[in-house]
Structures are given as structure tokens and as C-alpha cells.
Structure 1
Amino acid sequence: MLRLKTFGGLSLEGDEGPLTGAAAQRRRLVLLASLAAAGQKGMSRDAVVGLLWPEADEARARAALSQALYALKRDTGEDELVLGHDVLTLNSDILRSDVSEFEHAIARGDFEAAANLYSGPFLAGVFISEAVEFEHWLDGVRLRLSQAAEQALEHLAMDAESRRDFATATSWWRRLLGLDALKTRAVLGLMEALVARGDRAEALRTAERHAQRVREDLDGEPNARIMAYASSLRGTPSRLPVIADEMIGRDDELRVATSLIERSDLSLLTLTGAGGTGKTRLAIHVARAVEPRVDRVWFVDLSALRDSAGVMPAVASACGVQPEPGRDPVDGIASSLAGRRVLIVLDNFEQVVDAAGAVARLVNVAPQVKLLVTSRMRLGIRAEHEFFVAPLALPEDPTDIGALRANSAVRLFLRRAAAANPSLAVDDDTLGAAARICARVDGLPLAIELAAARCRLMSPRTIATRLESGLDLVSGGGRDMPARQQAIRETVAWSVALLSDAERRVFARLGAFAGGASVAAAEWVCADNNDDASSALDALSALVDASLLMPEPAPRDDPRLRMLETVREFAMDALLRSSEKEAVLGRHAEWYRRLAMQLEPRLTGETQQDALSTLARDHANLGCALDWMIRSDHAEGALALAAALWRYWLVRGHLEEGRAWLARVLDMAASQLPELDQLRADAMTGAGTLAQNTGAVVAAKTCFEAVLAIRRAHDDATGIARALADLGWIAWRQCDFGKARQLSNECLTLAEEVGATRVAALALTNLGATALFEGNFLEACEALERSSAMRQQVADRRGVAFSDTFLAWT
């Protein structure tokens, strides 16, 4: 009988010891191991060849397989060692393997036999060069077998515990830790078994070894449950709230915040951020990480307090300090904690922020005390070190399935969704819907969890669709959540209620902005009057401090602010309910009309890129401004704004969007007024340009002909020349080369008379393209070279590239 050993290595033995010769070659033994792992199902010849000889062509690979089978049969003396032709299986009457015996033992519930057979990872140390598919297959088999072994050992340990045989349970738990030294269940199981045997000291040493291994091997923090259990064994049970589930996507924040609070020169760390970002959860995990290295940790929930005077008495009560008549609680706390290294967590400080002075005094009189504070606004005292807790990062590419699976926000949604609906299938559609949900709620952990809870009744796709029309669906959290976190709107409302009246007015006005705003824009739009735009600056600063408004990375000379969309929706609702709605939306539209008109002349010169980037940052705001002007029948403003923006839409590729806006503006009845003719012609020039760039040549011609009529009626020479150039280009596109030449020559003559260099360059491009397509290459080169030179004079880099492209064709 032959015996194949696959756990912890790879070898083949007969009755007289290990086999040698050709049969013992590595790839041939791997062939036997692969068939052993396949069991009675066997493996097809194609599958074996793909795994073991991927580098060879099909004929050579099949020959290598046949040669390997022949060598194995010859050297073992067993012609029936491998059975079958198209599908290969091992003959279990001739060869026995530990892997097949292991799987049979698991199947019949003989976990002790299975545990004794598993002596290490399947094919440990085995490697085949240039066999990527084999490596993938091997990883999968190893994982399946190791998980089965771990489950067997855990079953054996728990069975021993149920029989109160803690000595045997300890042995099995140790065996399990030998397979996975960081397995939380195994560490806790071993500690509990040791305690049951009366060996508390070894249980504590087990926790210490776990903590050291996690810090050294993973550069992380030990499991909170293990540390809390260890703390309870020392006779100092943890005072921190119990959080049953893990924290997802905050590893970096946990590491940085923990290192900060442990710094000798830092006494007060404030975790700030918008409501729902997970400040409390992060603070608890930081406190758990620090707990083994301080004398005591206390957690003080301030959410029920409304009077700042009650903060220090609440801290004293949590720390077990008895009040003394006439004595400041701060002095009592400092005296009681003198000489002890302690951490005090103050949760939900924002509504009692006036107690910051008392906190500052405690820091001064008790320097050995560390304070970890969670608040939606800074305390604003000298000792404070602020750590901003941002929402979870969103997927950059919603079509990259691998990236979606790894994304923290998506992982959080899927984890909570699975808890709400264990039968939820995680396929590509689910991942895509999860990504849309996370983006809609700005990556806020609280909102993600509230949305995931809806998976009890809805599919992720349905939730994503419903959220597109509003955030009311994001409510109904767990009953253990505070009332202010039962819906995302209540979370925002909690922060807004803490603002002054002036700050609330500015908060509502900021709802007019979409996608953020420059500080200058926010100041001007949110001011109480045109003459005092700076009046809003203090309120804006307060909103940043309250985490309702966030600074946004931007060029140095153009600082920007933005609201999370969840917060902005609340602000917009407040604005729409207010009496100043139309006034604020009008100021918003006016600011962006002025901005666009100021930048419009720069969209074709040396500063084109800066102007385009500025407009791109406010793309959403520009759309909101146009929409308000159209709905308010403000035709002059709408025409001016659309006319100023069409070149931005053209260069940045927003062609269909630009056409849609221009169509809405030009359809306004008031835009037909004679006094607006020139503005209307400007907008129609944009409409025609965008139309012809999308292939709508006939529609473009109609626009340009109307523009020409208006320019002639107003005797606008430059405008006439530009319209002739546009019509000449349309004629060229329609292959009416005679008409193109006539219109472009007329344009060139007029443009040169009035000094319109940019328009003259357009005419020369038309003439060059016409000559090129007529076969007059010398004429084409001359016209296009003149066009390129003129475009360089006016710093029209896009135009230079256009002319030079035609030149390259000549």
C-alpha cells in the first residue's frame, strides 16, 4: 500500500520507506496530490495539464502528462495507480492519502481523527515555477482545508468545555492557535479555559502575547474583547460601552488617534466631524487600545446634558469622586486622580461647549489626566489638539468591482445589510447599488447603516433608486441608537439647533450652493446686504467649527467650502421654507452670472486653463443659477450667463448639456425682446457652435443665419464677420466649397478691416480646409500657416492645434 502525505509538505512512501527516482520528482508528486484533493470526482486531463504544465503548448503538455503517469506506474510497480482516461482518479485500493482521509473524517463527524491528520498547510513549501493557475488552485484548496481543520479543533475544544474537561479544552485551543495565532475566538477560548483551570496568570500572559503579536506583526491594536476580558481578570473591569461589532474602514484613524493621545506632550484630543461620521465609535476603540497601558479609563456620555455647569459634576460622578460642599468639582477630580494615569472620554460635547473653560482648568491642574473628547465643534482652548473624523472614502471608479469590494464604505454597507437580511446575495449588481448608496449619503457611516437596515424589505438597487429623490429613507436605526441618530435628518437637526439665530440664517442660505463654493461667494451670497459681505464670515467660521461646513482642497488663492450633501439637503429645505428664498437664490444666480461674464474673455487666451478650472469647480452652481433665472423669467441674466458659458461647455466636452441649457434659454418668451437681440445672438452663436460639434449641422446653420441677421441689423461689424466665419465652416462641412470660399473671403476682408484677429484666423482656417479638399495644397498651406500664426498672436492654443492638424494633412 502506498501512502501520500500532503499536509505540512509532500512525500510518497511505500512499504519499505520513501520512494525515490522519477516518481519522486516534484511535479509528479503534485500530480498525485491534485488527484487526491479531487477525491472520487477526479480531474480531467485538460484541468491537470492547465494546472501543471501551463508553459507548454497543448501537445507537449499532454505528452508531459502521459510521461509522468508512465513514470509513476513504472516506479511504484502499480499499473492501476491512476484510473480513467479523460477523467483521472487515484485508485484508493493502492494509494491512501492524508487529505482524502481528512475529508472523509470531517464528513462523518470524526473531528478528532481529522485534527490528528492535519499536520500543517496542504502542500506546505511546494512551488511550481510559471504555474500561476496552480498557485490560485492551491490557495483555494489550502483555505478550504485549513478552515475545516480550524472548525474541527474549535468543535473539539467546545465539546471538551461542555464536559468541563478544561485541560483537554486548553490543549485543543492551543492547537487552534497554532494554526492561526491571531484568531480571536481561539485566544478568548484559551483564556477562559485557563481561568476555569485556575490559571489566571497564564490567561493574562496569553492576552499580552496576543497584544504584542498584533502590534509587532500587524502594526495594529489588539482585539478589544480580549483586552477587556484581560482587564476584568486584573480586577478592573472596563468602564467603556460595549460595541458588539467591529469598526470598518477606520484603521488609519485609529492608529493616528491612538498615537496622539499617548503622546506625553498632549493632554486633550478632540475628535471633531459632522454628525454620523462615527466619532463615538472611534473614541471607544481608541480608549480600548489605550486601556491596557493606563490605570483606568472612564466614559462620560454628555448627550443628555443641556447645562454646561453640569459637565464637571458628571465627570466627577463617573470617576467616583464624591462632591464636597463649596469645593469646585475640578479640584475634587484632580485631587482624587493625583498620581494615577487615567483617560477620560467626554462624548457629545457640542451642546455643552461653554464648559470648555472647565476642561481647560482640569487640564492645567491635573496634567497626568488625558482627555479624549468627541464633539461636532472645537472646544477652542489652548491645550486642544483637533483630529477631524471625515466620512468614509468613496469608490473612485464605481465600475471597478474589485475596488468596490475593498472600499470601506461599501464593506460597511454590505456588513450591515447582511445583518438585516442574511440571504442577501452579493453580486456585481449589489456592489454597484451599494456604491451609489454610499455616494448619495456622502460616505457617512451612520447614514450607510441606516440605509443598510432597509435591506430587510428592499433590495440595494431599490434603496439606491429611492435615495435619488431624497434622504427620508435613511431613518429607522436600531433601538439602541440615541433618538438623535434614528434618522440622518435628526442628526443634522441636532447640530443646527446648537447654532445662534444668525448662524442658522447663514446655514440655510448656504443651501443655495451645489458642490461647494469659494469663501468669497459664500460671504457675498450669505451676507445680509450688498454693502457688508464680510458680515457672514464669522457665521461661516462658526459653521466650520460645528462641522456643518468643511474646508475643501483648492488653489491657494481660491479657498473653498462645502457641505456634505446630507447636510446641504437639510439647509436647502430650511431655505425653501424661509421668506428670503427668492432673494437668496437671486443673489446666488447674480454672483455666478458675474463670475461667468468676468471669466468669459479669458476662455480663449493665455489664462484659459485657469478660467476653465474655476468654472469647472462651480459647474453645479452655474447650472443652479441658470435654472433659477429661467424659472424666474430673468431672460437678460439667463442669456448673459449662457452666452458666457458656451465656450466652457465646448472645451470641457459638455456639449449636450450646453445645448440643452441654451435651448431652454432661447425658448424663453422674454428672450425675444428687441433690446436683448445682441445677447440673444451671443447665445445663438454658442448654440450653433455646440450643435455643429455634435453633428447637428442643419440646426447649426439655422442658428448662424439668425445670428447674421441680428448682427447686420445692428451694424455690428465684428459680429457680422464672426457669423460669416461660422456659416463658411458649415458650408465646408456640407461640401459646398464655393459657398465656403465666398463666405470666408467676405469674413476675412471685414475682420481685417476691423482688426478682429481671432475671427480672421477662423476665416483662414476655413479657406485652408476648403483648398485642401479641393486639392490646392499650396494655397491650403499658405492659409493654414497664416491662421496658425494669428492664433498664436492671441494665445489661442486650442485654435493653433486645430490649424496645425489641417496643416499636417496637406
Structure 2
Amino acid sequence: MDESTSPFWPGVPRAGGVPAHLVPLVGRGEELAELAALLRREDVPLLTLSGAGGTGKTALALTLVGALAPDFPDGVAVVSLAAVRADAPLAPVVARALGLKDGAAEPLARVREFLRGRRLLLLLDNAEHLPGVGELAQDLLRHAPHLTVLVTSRVPLGVSLERDYALGPLALPPPGATFGELAAAPSVELFRRRARAVRRDFTLTPENAPAVAGVCARLDGLPLALELAAAHARTLSPEALLGHLHPSLPLLSGGPADRPEHQRSVRATIAWSEALLPDPARAVLRALGTFVDGADLPGVAAVTGLAEGEALARLELLVSHGLVRPGENPDGTPRFGLLETIREYALERQEALSETASWQARHARHFLAVALTLDREVWGERQGAALARLEREHGNFRAALAWALDHAAPLGLRLAAALGNFWSVHGHLTEGRGWLERALRLPGDEVARAHAAYVAGEMARMQGDHAEAERHLREGLALARARGDRLEAAAALNSLGVLAHNAARPEEARAFLTEALTLWEEEPRDFGRTTPLFNLGRLELYWGDAQDALPLLSRALAFWRERGNRHGMGYALYSLGRAHLERGDAERGEALLRGSLTLREAIGDERGVIASLTALGLEATLWGELPAAFPLLGQALSRAVRLGHRRNVAEALEDFAALALAWGEAARAVRWVSAARAVREGVGALPAPLDGRQIERTLRRARAKLSRAASAREWQEGALLGLGAAVAEALQWRPTPAPVRATAGLTRREQEVLRLMAAGHSNREIARALEVSEKTVARHGENLFNKLGVNSRAAATALAVREGLV
């Protein structure tokens, strides 16, 4: 579950935890019109909406991008920067908001590649504390000329491409205003609406209007301050409220004197609202300052040490005072968050009372417990819910890690290790490896260190960094063996087996996987043994015999299905599909591949989706269904580029080469196979025989259609082309209408029979392979002879060879 979906307009990426509730803006019509006109201009690529805290920049910006969404064909994306630390890299934050999964490429490169050529509006919200925002915005604009960037910040960015728009407070009534003029003033209207939201019978009258206008003037017309003040209309009349806000009151004159007047007004209003609370509710407000992207009720209870009922009562009091924003998690349970201005105030109060370390320690301990609990569920029946909650709390995990690695290293190491499976499954590979590398440099217990080394190795392997993967996995294996931890050792051996498989060392892979399986079988209560069992099946599929792979893969699928492990099921369905295709059962193979694609899309397994799309696209190509193959392979290649995993890109490019050949463009096919080969050699990922046979078949047939000199020239050009240029060429390729093939009128089953017939199999062998009767095979043979206009196996075989079926 990705918590970045905006509640305001469908399909818009939005970073953040607590869903914002967009209410109609008051008194900002002129600003909306001016800002919209600026963002539609080609000479304003970067617009900063600047203004003091509490002026409503975020609400105005969200309304603005929602209104402008139809003007941007590729959509709008919202990136909340409020919780990002000043020293944190910004590109990964933007990549996550754009829905880009981690891959081998650097986050900035992936963001540039994704935005290039797109007409998109990007909102960077709350940028004032991040000095690198201006440089990042200009970098993206240089690489994506059709991009438009809107930034909200308390101060302008100060970069050359920037156009600054200063947002002031809401307009106040003019001096000596009539009742009608008072009622029409935007600041008064905002107060009236918010007051009426907490007290239904509140009405603006000629008698109370002057007091309301006084409140607005005292609070400088700042929307946040007015909202906080209006929250007290339930118990205070406007006249009483104005009395509480008298400038001589000590609360109102508090706060640093060097703050701008507007900011002092907002802070004073927050302080006044807090002063009206009992001490226990104030403590909950300070505790909430530690949370990032909101908090659920169990989290608030755990960090404050309260029972959930008592915590809820205090949270409801804070909501009634306008200090806390209520929301909901996707499962309907409550969630609570603070506006950034109020969160800053809560953190200030923590510091003033010397509570910061205490709250952060409690927060880190709670989220370690959450991570440990959810990590046990990542591979089980509750996988979907566990991953969704881990993603939802990712901001809190980051905050807990940042504090723990500086102040409580052993806790930080345990937390990083516990998050490893989540990072791997949800594609946060670069970020996860960064946290783990940092944690592994610090002291900690050997159990956590062994697991952290294992998951760091797994993520390095997934990114194609084989040297680092092997280093970490061998470290984890040594630590696990030294402690006699068979399960941790088995996990490391399994990953070393996969690493050896990917590096074209099948015998070494078999040894690692067999030892892993033996260790796991000594622990009958643990279901991890299914993983090396599955990987042994994959080894048979890619390096041995597809028939021998089927029982191993089927056992893995049955076990994962029983456990509700959808991630494992996706892998097993994919591999079983490939195995059945290799055996000649196209119908069953395609059905299994489509099942894997559906499942992987549902759980957000991006690498798995790419693999399934690629296999389906290649299969459609081989069956001559070229118009169907083109979008499948196009999606696979585009998504592989976005992911940044070079091996996935190379595989998709190889299958694009097969499609180009089927379309009659042999030169492209040779060039793209050569480019892919160069990439494979660069990352040490040579193809296994299962894939290698198809690649060589494509290359052999393409070269047969070219002269020797032309073939050599295209091969050399492909090797020098570079991956980026080869991918761009493939994605921009628009083939002419597909040639009509003589076999196009055959059914899938008839093509299967023809392929096996041309390979020299008897009717009995074909019947056994397709699990049908010999009589059925004979009937298919008669039908395909009639459709092709031939009367012998020899003639049918010649035609099959000519059309590339064998």
C-alpha cells in the first residue's frame, strides 16, 4: 500500500502520512488566479510561494495544483519536505513521491530520466529548512524542459530561475468599517466559518462583529492563528476571546523577540491555546512533536505510557483546541498529526523542558517493537497489511533510526536489521542499504549484526552489486555459524546460492542451496526452507531440465499459497509459467504468467512485474502476436529504466530485439542484442542457458538476414551505443504494420503442435508433452496442414523454420 495517493484528485502522487483535509479557501481568489496564470507561462518554470509560517501556503498550493491538474498531461506530484532533515539527500524523497522504486541507478538519475519529456507540475512543499532545494529544482528543470516546479517556503530560494510570489495574511477590515464591510473581510469570514464549525449557533452580528474584527487584527489576519483562536468559540464569546488576546498578557508577548511579527503572532496563539490545556494534555502535544507523518493511537499510548482510552481522551481534547488534526488510516483506525508550525512549537517545548532525549528514546523503542512484530508478518498471511503499515510508518522509522544511530547504536542496529525485509520487498533498496551500512559500522549485538549483514547483502544483490553482496553475505554467514544460528546461516547460504546462480556458477549455487535446505529442514517449525527449495527449482529451470523443475516449483507454490505469502506466490507462478512454456505448453504457461503479473501488480513488486511483462511480451512475439507484444515489452523496458536495475533493462532490450526481428528489422535486432550483452558483461550477469538459447536464436536469425559486413557493423555499433541510447532508440521505435505470417491463422495449440513436429517429435511424444491424446494431436496436425496448404511434415517443418517458430 502506498500512502502517497492524494485525497483531492485521483491518481496524483502525494507524499505524507496524515491525509490533509482540503477545505474551501477564504479570501484567496485573487492569489489563486495570479498564481495559476504564472504557472501556465512557459517563462516561469520555477515559482516559489513564500510567506511567514501560518499564512496558508500549503493549503493554497494544494488547491492550486488541484485546479491546474488538467493543464498538465502527465499529472501533478506533491512532495512534502516538512519532515526531511536538513542534511538528508533530497532526490530519494522526490523519487519516492513520484512512485519510483529503488534500483541500481542513483535516485537523482532516476528522477531525471522519469521527468525527461514529461509535462508535469511538481510541488515541493515546506522547503525553507533545506538549502539544496533550489539547486535540485534547477537541475531537474535543466534535464526536463517541460517540467514546472512550484515551491512553498518561508523564504525565497534565491536561485536564477526562480520567480517569487510573496503571500501575505488575509485582508483585515478597513478602519471604521460598516457591519457589511466587516462581514465581507476575508479574515473575519475565515474566523466565522471556523467558529461555526465548533459551535453551530455561532452567528456574526453587528454586536459581536467589532470584537471578531479585533481578534483578526490582533492575530494579523494569519489563517493558522485565526483557526486556533476560533477553536475556542465553543466556550468563549468573541469579546472574551479578544480579552484573552490582549497584548499585555505575558503569554502573548512570549517567544523570541527576533522573530518576524507574523511568526510571533502565530506562536503566541499556539502558546495561548496550549496554556488553556491541563498538564497531561500538554505532555501528549509535546510527545506528538516526535512523530513524523502522524501517529496512530497505539503509538501515542506506547510513547506516552498511557492506556489507549486515556490517550484518546487527551487527543480529542487537543483536537477540540485546534492543535491536532484528526485523520484515518486506510483500515479506518484513527490517526493524528500536527501542522508543521505546531510541530515546531511542540519540539521547542520539549527542548525548553529538557524532554527531547526522553521522548525520542521512547519513540525509537516503540518503533523497534513495531518493526520486529511486522517483520515476522512480512512473509505470512498478513503480508499485505504488514507491508502497508510499514510503508505508512516509514517516516517514523526514519526518525527513530536517525536518533538511535546517533544516541543508541545497538537499538539502531536492531531496527535497521528488522526493516531489511520491508526495504527489500517494497523497493527501498538504496535508502535501506545506506541505513544498514551506517548501522554496521557501529557496535551492537551479534544476532542483530548477522541479520543486518544478511539483509544488506540481499539488497546489494538485488541492485546488481555482486561484490558488496558477497562481502556482506559471507560476513553474515560467518557470524551466524559462530553463534550456531542455523536459520540465519541458511538464509545467508540461500542468498549466496542465488548470487552464484546469477553469476553463471550453477554448481556453486547448487551447493549453497542444498546446504541451506539441509539446515532449514533441521528446524521443522520454520517455513524458510521453501525458499531454497524454490531456488533449486529455478536452478533446474534455467540451467537444467524444465521437467525436473516443475515438482520443486509446485511444492513452493503450494506452501506459499497456504501461508498467504503473495510475494513468494508471484515468483513461483512466474517460474512455473516459464517452465511450462519451455515444455511447449503455451496455454498453461501464459495463464501462469498472467497470474504472476496480476499478483505482482497488486503487491507492488516492481521487479517482478517487469519480469512477468517481459516473459509475456516475448511469448507473444514468438507466437507472431506482434501488436500484442509491443505494449507489453514497451511497459517492461520503461519500468525497468525507472527502476534503474541494469540487468532488468538488458533483459527487456534483448526481448525487444526478438520483436524487431519478428517485425523484419534484423539490423536493430543485432544492435540491441549487442548493447544488452555489453551491459550484462559490465554487471557480471551473463544469461543462463534458458535465456541464452533464445538470445542466440534471435542473434543467429538476425545475422542470417544481413551480410557479414552489415552484421559486424551493427554489432560494433550496439557495443558502443551505450545502454541509455539503446533504450531511447527502442522506446522511440515505431515499427511499420506487422507482416502477415503464413502461420497467423493457426491457433495457439496448433502452433504448439507444429513447433514440436518441426523439432522432430512423434505424435506420441507430442501427446505426452501436451498431456493430450494421440488422436487429438493427429486432428491438430490435419487442421494445420489444411490451413498452411501443405501435405507433409517436411513441408510444414520448412515453413515453421522460415517463420521462426523453431
* Class of the TM-score when normalised by the shorter of the 2 chains: 0.3 to 0.5
Higher RCO, 1 or 2 (CA under 8 Å, sep at least 6)? 2
TM-score if structure 1 supplies the norm length? 0.42
Highest Rg: 1 or 2? 1
TM-score (norm 2): 0.43
